[in-house]
Amino acid sequence: MRRLARRDVLRAMAGALGCAVVARPSSAGETRIGTLIAGASALPTVADRIDFISHALLGLPYRGFTLIGGPHKREEFVIRDDGFDCVTFCEAVLAAARVTRPVDFEAALRRIRYRNGWIDWRERNHYFSDWSEFNIANGVCRAVMLPGGVAIDKPLTYERGLEPRRALFTAIPRASLAAHSDRLATGDIIGFLSERPGLDYFHTGFIVVSPGGRLLLRHAAQSRRRVLDESLARFIARTHVKRVTVLRPQEPWVDSAVV
């Protein structure tokens, strides 16, 4: 066993301290997530559980800036399911779909939101390219690749307090997404690339395949002020999306074993 470096010890201590500070929703919100986890636990796949849980949250309000922390402010681990922005909606649903007991929800959410599960502002996946990279690396998701993928190399400067750097990933042109829509599945997480300088993505949500094969986007929409379903094609046309990425959530290797 290797000797722990001082940096490792300090980071572990920071994570432990962070775990002690949890900003929670109302008791009604806690009852909601626990009930949904229990209701979804008998469903056979993570995609089924995502569909069940996300559908139950339709109509809840959009809430931005719910996470607490900054480059000079202590990070607090925020847990709420009474309102979401686009990323926290995906995080909460995905975490709930990966466990069968409400008691395991916090650990699942921490693993998805933070690199290595450490509760620290600099360990939070601020950019969706980071969110994707680290949730692929930890086995929570895998990338869905379609023909015509385009290599993206973009400088990231949007998040104040983080050092500027470059994002490197592969994106799917909208024409390829439309041509190969039969390869998409309910529960897939779709990210929409931003044309804004310094920013990688501007939005994310879940894909839902309707019984007739129509693709819907289930998301927390700031413009509509709530969680809703809408036509994926219509959203792409309305927001002039040129490229996307798609992730497919994976089944947990061990039931409720999330740390």
64 and 117 both lie in a single domain:
yes
Tokens 């719910």, located at residue: 66
Domain assignment of residue 184, yes or no? yes
pLDDT of residue 9: 35
Domain assignment of residue 23, yes or no? yes
pLDDT in tens, 171-226: 999 999 999 999 999 999 999 999 999 999 999 999 999 998 999 999 999 999 99
Q: Kind and range of the H or E element at 155? A: strand 150-156
Mean pLDDT of all residues in 126-140: 97
143/24: higher pLDDT: 143
Domain assignment of residue 1, yes or no? no
In this structure, the strands spanning 201-209 and 189-193 are antiparallel
pLDDT at 161 exceeding the cut of 70? yes
132 and 155 both lie in a single domain:
no
The first and second tokens of residue 189, run together, are: 């997480």
Contacts of 142 by beta carbon, 8 Å cutoff, 6+ apart = 136, 247, 248, 250
pLDDT in tens, 57-80: 999 999 999 999 999 999 999 998
pLDDT at 118 exceeding the cut of 90? yes
CATH of the domain at 245: 2.30.260.10
Calculate helix-pair angle for 46-56, 27-40, nearest 10 degrees. Answer: 150
27 and 130 both lie in a single domain:
yes
Mean pLDDT of all residues in 99-106: 95
pLDDT of residue 5: 43
Range of the domain at 193: 140-249
150 and 104 both lie in a single domain:
no
Domain assignment of residue 257, yes or no? no
pLDDT in tens, 90-101: 999 999 999 999
In order, the DSSP letters of 221-242 are ETTTTEEEEEEHHHHHHHHT--
CATH of the domain at 26: 1.10.3670.10
pLDDT of residue 25: 57
24 and 128 both lie in a single domain:
yes
- pLDDT band of 11, cuts 50, 70, 90: very low
79 and 151 both lie in a single domain:
no
55 and 115 both lie in a single domain:
yes
103 and 163 both lie in a single domain:
no
Last residue of a domain, one of 104, 136, 168: 136
Average model confidence (pLDDT) across the chain = 89
pLDDT of residue 210: 94
56 and 104 both lie in a single domain:
yes
pLDDT of residue 2: 37
Domain assignment of residue 17, yes or no? yes
Query: How many structural domains are present in the chain?
Result: 2
The first and second tokens of residue 188, run together, are: 């897939």
pLDDT at 126 exceeding the cut of 90? yes
24/21: higher pLDDT: 24
Percent of the chain with pLDDT over 90: 83
181/9: higher pLDDT: 181
202 and 172 both lie in a single domain:
yes
pLDDT at 50 exceeding the cut of 70? yes
- pLDDT band of 15, cuts 50, 70, 90: very low
